[in-house]
Structure 1
Amino acid sequence: MKKLSFYDNKNVIAERLRYYREQKGLNQEQLAARLQTMNVNIDQQMISRIERNQRLVTDYELACLCIALDITVRDLLSDFFDKYAEKG
């Protein structure tokens, strides 16, 4: 089985996700509940794993996280763009 990672990261949104979730005053369970209302099968433990960079994030999960947090994809990917845009 192929191991999916990017510079040893399972995802590139871990830190920004925690930052915006906390900025919005949400705990992991509340964020998971918002996602579940959008038919995204994610629970608190999965949010925790994403924030600890231990779980991949799919494209639709990324989009729904942005909607649930009322932020843009660019907001959530800002660390990635700041770090890697110049290398491109």
Structure 2
Amino acid sequence: MARIVDEAQNVVGEKIKKYRMERKLSQKDLSEKLEVYAIYICRGSISRIESHERTVTDFELRAMAKVLCVSIEELYEEKNI
């Protein structure tokens, strides 16, 4: 079932992109590394997550945090807090 929506549906997309780029991973690299955790998200879906167009499940979020070597809390932190 597709999880594509019309308005911003996740608050972690910007941070996922930030940490992915800091680690010099392409969207395809991130997609492939998530497979180790049995999370199958194509490159296009990574793009939609980063642009807040796709929701993220708790299982996906946990695996992304592991791949990006950050805590889940770091993915939720706001810029000016």
**TM-score bracket relative to the smaller structure:** 0.7 to 0.9
- Note the residue ranges of structure 1 that are not aligned, 5 or more in a row: 83-88
**Relative contact order (C-alpha < 8 Å, sep 6+): which is higher?**
2
One-letter amino acid matched to 1:70: C
- Give the superposition deviation at 1:15: 0.8
- Note the residue ranges of structure 2 that are not aligned, 5 or more in a row: none
The alignment status of 1:75 with 2:74, answered yes or no, reads: yes
| 1:37-66 superposed Cα distances (whole Å, 9 cap, x missing partner) | 211011101100000110000001010000
CA RMSD of aligned residues (A): 1.9
TM-score of the superposed pair, with normalisation by structure 2: 0.85
TM-score of the superposed pair, with normalisation by structure 1: 0.79
Alignment of 1:21-32 (within 5 A): 21-32=20-31
Q: Alignment identity in percent?
A: 31
Contact 1:66–1:72 (Cα < 8 Å) also in 2: yes
Contact 1:32–1:43 (Cα < 8 Å) also in 2: yes
Greater share of residues in helix: 1
Helix, strand or coil for the counterpart of 2:78? helix
Q: Alignment length, in residue pairs?
A: 76
Alignment of 1:1-88 (within 5 A): 8-79=7-78, 82=81
Tell me the residue number matched to 1:85: none
Query: Distance between the aligned counterparts of 1:40 and 1:17, measured in 2?
Result: 15
